[in-house]
Every structure is written in C-alpha cells, then in structure tokens.
Amino acid sequence: MSSSDATPGLRERKKRETHRLLATTAIRLIDERGLDQVTVDDIAAEAGVSTRTFFNYFASKEDSVLIPRADREQSTQEVLERFAAQPAELGSFPAMLASIRPMLTEIDENPQEWLARLRIVMANPGLALRALTLDRESNAELVAAIARRSGTDPATDLFPALVLSLVSGTLDTAFRLWSAMDGARTSAELFDEAAALATSLTDPA
C-alpha cells in the first residue's frame, strides 16, 4: 500500500477517534453535572480540542449525546437484514423481537456509557423528543418491512405500525428497568424477559 493510499484511511480513523472522544466526554460530563451545567467549551476543553473542532463533528452539545445518524442507519440495516432472514413460519412480532435482540448484546459490552446516555435522555424531555424525531426514518423502514412480511399495507392497515409499537414498547420497558436498576441485570436479560411477557401477556398469578 502506498503512502497516498494509507493517508485517507489514517485520516478517517483519526476522525472516528475524535468523534468517539467528544461523544464519550460529553456523555460523562453531562451525566455528572446535568445538561444545562455543561457547555460546548467545557466538552472541548475536557477532550483537549478546540471548540471549532467540536463543531466540525456536532451541531450542538445535545447532538453529541445522541446516537450518531450513521450508527442509527447501520443499526437499522442490520435489523432489516436479520428480520428478512427470520423463519417464514415465525410471526412478525416475534421475528422483529429476535431481530432487535443482538443490539442488546452490543449494548451490554459497554453498559456504563449506555446507562449514562439513558439517564441524560430520560432527564431531559427535549432530548427524548429529539431522539424520537431521529428514529422516525428508521421506524418507517421497519414498518415497511413488517408490512411486506405480513402482506399488509401500512397506508391502510394498523398491523405493521402496531407490531413496531409493541416491539418499541418492549424495548423501552426493558431499558427503563435496566436504568432504574443501574445495570444490576443486563439489558439483554431484561429484554428477553419483557419479550417473553409481551408474547404471552396475562395477568400475574
């Protein structure tokens, strides 16, 4: 490999490292002090970069806490691929639950950062609304996939959107308890439990 070939790769790696450093620094500071008590200048100084460098990567401190768009898009594509590969005899709801499940294993590899991000989002309604807005595009893709699998039309049938709402509710319920327990159990374990309850929901004995 020539030096001209290697340079772009090195630059991209450096960009990813800086992006990662700024995001983890922002999450740590905001989790410790609160969103309103941390400025972009604070994050940049703690990370050892200029404020200008911060804005090369993020539009605001709020953006630095949320999952990057590229990561969201990649995660959505991975879920769609797993969903398409689920056994044909499996219903859309359990198939989507199974397709979401590997995400939890990845989250449990770095639980403290994810718990901190959850605490921040849950403590700031504006940030939670922003996260929901960012999810709309991926949700539309997931609803379309459910519609294809079930032979329904998302424009006229409730089913595909309802399935995704049930999956999202299952995931949200697991995450909220995981956060409340401060990671005493894994998010994957709680998701599995929530999924089992959701697929056969009856009143507790």
3 pLDDT above the threshold of 80: no
SS (H, E, C) the chain: CCHHHHHHHHHHHHHHHHHHHHHHHHHHHHHHHCHHHCCHHHHHHHHCCCHHHHHHHCCCHHHHHCCCHHHHHHHHHHHHHHHHCCCCCCCHHHHHHHHHHHHHHHHCCCHHHHHHHHHHHHHCHHHHHHHHHHHHHHHHHHHHHHHHHHCCCCCCCCHHHHHHHHHHHHHHHHHHHHHHCCCCCCHHHHHHHHHHHHHCCCCCC
Of the three residues 46, 64, 82, the one that is the final residue of a domain is 64
CA angle 44, 50, 56 (to 5 degrees): 90
Average pLDDT on 88-96 reads: 94
Kindly state whether residues 25 and 13 are assigned to the same domain: yes
- Asked if residue 3 belongs to a domain, the reply is no
Cβ contact 177:110 at 8 Å: no
Of the three residues 64, 90, 106, the one that is the final residue of a domain is 64
- Asked if residue 189 belongs to a domain, the reply is yes
Average pLDDT on 121-127 reads: 93
Q: What is the pTM of this model?
A: 0.85
CATH value at residue 56? 1.10.10.60
CA dist 47 and 18 (Å) reads 9
1 pLDDT above the threshold of 70: no
Tell me what pLDDT residue 135 has.
86
Kindly state whether residues 138 and 45 are assigned to the same domain: no
Kindly state whether residues 56 and 80 are assigned to the same domain: no
76 pLDDT above the threshold of 60: yes
- Asked if residue 1 belongs to a domain, the reply is no
Kindly state whether residues 80 and 141 are assigned to the same domain: yes
Tell me what pLDDT residue 139 has.
94
Kindly state whether residues 112 and 123 are assigned to the same domain: yes
Kindly state whether residues 119 and 198 are assigned to the same domain: yes
202 pLDDT above the threshold of 80: no
Tell me what pLDDT residue 205 has.
52
Burial class (CB in 10 A: 0-12, 13-18, 19+), 93: buried
Kindly state whether residues 165 and 150 are assigned to the same domain: yes
Give the whole-number percent of the chain exceeding pLDDT 70. 94
**Among candidate residues 136, 137, 142, 139, the one with its CA nearest the CA of residue 80:** 142
Average pLDDT on 153-181 reads: 96
Kindly state whether residues 54 and 75 are assigned to the same domain: no
115 pLDDT above the threshold of 90: yes
- Asked if residue 144 belongs to a domain, the reply is yes
Kindly state whether residues 83 and 114 are assigned to the same domain: yes
Number of domains making up the chain: 2
Cβ-based neighbours of 156, under 8 Å, separated by 6 or more = none
* Pairwise pLDDT comparison (132 vs 142), residue with the higher score: 142
Tell me what pLDDT residue 101 has.
97
Average pLDDT on 26-43 reads: 97
- Domain encompassing residue 28: 8-64
